[in-house]
Amino acid sequence: MTMYEMTDMQYQAVYNVLSFALASMMATTVYLWFRSFAVQDKYRSAVLISGLVTFIAAYHYFRIFNSWVEAYSYPAGKLVDGAMVVEGPKLTGVPFNDAYRYMDWLLTVPLLLIEILLVMNLDAETYSEKAKALGLSSALMIVSGYYGELTVSGNLAPRWICWFVSMLFFVYICKELLIGLAAATESESDAEIKGKIRLAQVMTVISWCTYPVVYLFPMFGITAAQAVVGIQIGYCVSDIISKCGVGLVIYQITYAKSSKGALLG
Amino acid sequence: MTMYEMTDMQYQAVYNVLSFALASMMATTVYLWFRSFAVQDKYRSAVLISGLVTFIAAYHYFRIFNSWVEAYSYPAGKLVDGAMVVEGPKLTGVPFNDAYRYMDWLLTVPLLLIEILLVMNLDAETYSEKAKALGLSSALMIVSGYYGELTVSGNLAPRWICWFVSMLFFVYICKELLIGLAAATESESDAEIKGKIRLAQVMTVISWCTYPVVYLFPMFGITAAQAVVGIQIGYCVSDIISKCGVGLVIYQITYAKSSKGALLG
């Protein structure tokens, strides 16, 4: 793999964004775990799992942040009149391990899909069928992407093949979220709840669109320091929307269903 | 013990898999501990213990991961036009301590067997008898395996003897899980619960099969870097199935028994 020199500003930008994502994940985790007790028992698992997703992501952001810090080091500065102009960080030789993200996704993406299924109007059989199909295809989508990442050197053909295989599963999952599950979404009697379930589905699909685009960067020769900064910011924004954002919407859905269920009961 | 040079890719593969196993153990622990409150009091211990197993494993994976990181270090790379191709990691001289795994198993394997017994239809006397027999034989199986690991140098005879002793206990435990406990499994009136208990037993036996096979690798001269990568991935997969997987099945069994018990009561 190739590592790039960063200006002080570029290095700090990635550092701050990774730290921001870590803080967002930790805070969302605590909120969701505490609030899992505020919803009816049958929805508690969904809120708990939403918190598990951000918990797992927090762990990986902690590792990614540390890996970023280990990849660069600041040279001793030179004092001029009692002040020191900071020089840009230098590469240490330790590679920045971004592949942690794949380990994260392998756990969190199936859980994210399951947390959406758990708050929908699905009978046990449909739930189990959809959970298996979506869980398996999301795992295959990520494994295929990771395999493509491993083939880093010169020849980009395997990376293209992996991208296409991955995209097959990607398109299938998006289709299921937007169309396959539409009937179940429409069957919600409460307009507010129906709107929020649709919101969770759409947020997931839109925030996911970053990943296949970023994956193509090396194919278009976008590999400089500037690109690394852009990729890290893009990944962080997508992760915050799809994990913290969707997790909080899931909580709102279960909370609304719990209060309305209580009124009916 | 002997340590091997790794390519960047091999080193990162083990690094990522160990981290993945750690994240899986932590997430499962949290889920099981939270959900232990969702089952009837008489089943709570089983779910709690399932979470203890993954908790103990998470601790050991944390140590194993750190040991892996300490065993290798990256040399300072050479910059060409602001970019640096990362060189493979070098051995530091610190051995990778894999024997943590035996300490882990010594605690978790008896607990794993007990968590299965706890959710079965056994009278107090049978339970106590089976728990003692399985707990003791699993401890002896691991101690014998560990003793064989300590005799690493040239002469492989003691390692073979330890393997055979260990396998005696291994076969006894598998026989108990699949045959000795079959009558109790069959006595479950609910088909779904019966199926899940059988699943937990079969998952345990199948995932365990990795261990005696990996143990034989040095006897067949399989000792290169490639083998180390394979062994670590194999151990991680087996641990995730037998600890996270079986733990979650145990929770499902207790949850099903609790809801059905409530209906009957």
Q: Based on the number of CB atoms within 10 Å of its own CB, is B221 exposed (0-12), middle (13-18) or buried (19 or more)? A: exposed
Cβ contact A107–B24 (<8 Å):
yes
At B83 the pLDDT is 79
* C-alpha span between A148 and A250 (Å, rounded): 32
**Closest alpha carbon within chain B to A59:** B23
* DSSP one-letter string for B180-191: ITHHHHHT-S-H
ipTM comes to: 0.88
Going by C-alpha positions, the residue among B146, B134, B155, B135 that lies closest to residue B100 is B146
Q: Is there a contact between B17 and B236 (Cβ–Cβ < 8 Å)?
A: yes
Instruction: Spell out, as residue ranges, where chain B has pLDDT lower than 50.
Output: 265
* C-alpha span between B234 and B215 (Å, rounded): 12
Going by C-alpha positions, the residue among B107, B120, B86 that lies closest to residue B200 is B120
**Closest alpha carbon within chain A to B84:** A3
Ranking A16-20, A59-63, A81-85 by mean pLDDT, the lowest is A81-85
At A262 the pLDDT is 61
User: From the candidates B9, B16, B72, which should be mutated to test the interface with A, based on the most A CB atoms within 10 A?
Assistant: B16
At B156 the pLDDT is 80
A112: chain B residues, CB-CB within 8 Å: none
Cβ contact B77–A56 (<8 Å):
no
B229: chain A residues, CB-CB within 8 Å: none
At A27 the pLDDT is 98
Q: Is there a contact between B9 and B225 (Cβ–Cβ < 8 Å)?
A: no
At A265 the pLDDT is 43
**Closest alpha carbon within chain B to A70:** B74
At B99 the pLDDT is 80
For A90, the enclosing helix (H) or strand (E) is: strand A90-91
Shortest distance, CA B141 to any CA of chain A (angstroms): 32
Q: Is there a contact between B250 and B119 (Cβ–Cβ < 8 Å)?
A: yes
Tens of pLDDT along A4-53? 889 999 999 999 999 999 999 999 999 999 999 999 988 999 999 999 99
Q: State what percent of residues in chain A have pLDDT above 90.
A: 70
What average pLDDT does the segment A224-250 reach? 92
At B31 the pLDDT is 96
pLDDT at A88 over 70: yes
At A155 the pLDDT is 75
At A158 the pLDDT is 86
pTM: 0.91
CB neighbour list of residue A242: distance below 8 Å, 6 or more residues apart: A112, A203, A204, A207, A208
Chain A positions with Cβ closer than 8 Å to B = 1-5, 33, 36, 41, 44-45, 48-49, 52, 55-56, 59-60, 63, 91-95, 97, 99-100, 102-104, 106-107, 150, 225
